[in-house]
Amino acid sequence: MRNIIGMFAKSPFGPLEEHMLKVMQCSELFSECIKAYCKEDFKESERLAMEVSRVEHEADKIKNQIRENLPKSIFMPVDRGDFLDYLREQDQVSDSLEDSALSLTLRRTKVPEDIKKDLMDLSLKVIDVVNILPLAVKSLNDLLETSFAKKQDSRIGEYLNLLGEKEQLTDELELKLEKSMHEKEERFTKGEFYHIMRTVKHIARIADHAENCGDRIRLMIAKQ
């Protein structure tokens, strides 16, 4: 608890670094999890899904510490409510990574090669979106430390635009994959079809929450 409060003394975004680290660990583990699943190494995929769940639980504990120990009277260069809204969306990224990994473990489905390729493409593009978040948060933290004096020199706008562009790509890939699944529905049992479609929705939701993080950052900047 002392560590969390000490980090707030320096910057309101300092404590998010520890939470962001857990989010990125979830992302890396999920990436390995989906690869193992597509290789039909189901035992390894299930093991990795449990690891994602374990790290997500650690992220939840950090999130709760931040919420419980954020003093109401502390001077913050951003609105306290906006800060907590951002924290919630960042936490939703790790939640969605866990949901996606656990969704895979519900059924050992042998995915056809063409669908497998699209599923992997979607997953990789989603991870690309998540990978932009630490860069955007660091840029925002740098701006806060200079009281937005170097706003014109910051790359944060570039990162946020890239976040939106990459999230749009995941929307397109999600639609492509869903159309492909419906066109080839007869190749699956009802259980297999539902399992893959449900997993696709979970994976796409990761990028949605990452984009929401970007929207919260834009709001905080706009209020300066």
| Domains of the chain with CATH codes | 2-222 (1.20.58.220)
Distance CA 58, CA 24 (A): 12
pLDDT in tens, 100-121: 999 999 999 999 999 999 999 9
> Could you tell me the CA-to-CA distances from 111 to 12, 73, 121, 158 in Å, in that order?
45, 54, 14, 37
CA separation for the pair 138, 133 (Å, rounded):
9
For 29-68, how does the pLDDT look when each residue is reduced to its tens digit (9 = 90+)? 999 999 999 999 999 999 999 999 999 999 999 999 888 8
Q: What is the mean pLDDT of the chain?
A: 88
Output the pLDDT for position 215: 94
The pTM score is 0.89
The answer to whether 168 touches 141, Cβ cutoff 8 Å, is no
Residue (of 126, 113, 103) closest to 184 by Cα position: 113
- Which pair of tokens denotes residue 17? 């670094």
Q: State residue 2's pLDDT score.
A: 45
Tell whether the torsion through CA atoms of 169, 174, 180 and 183 is positive or negative: negative
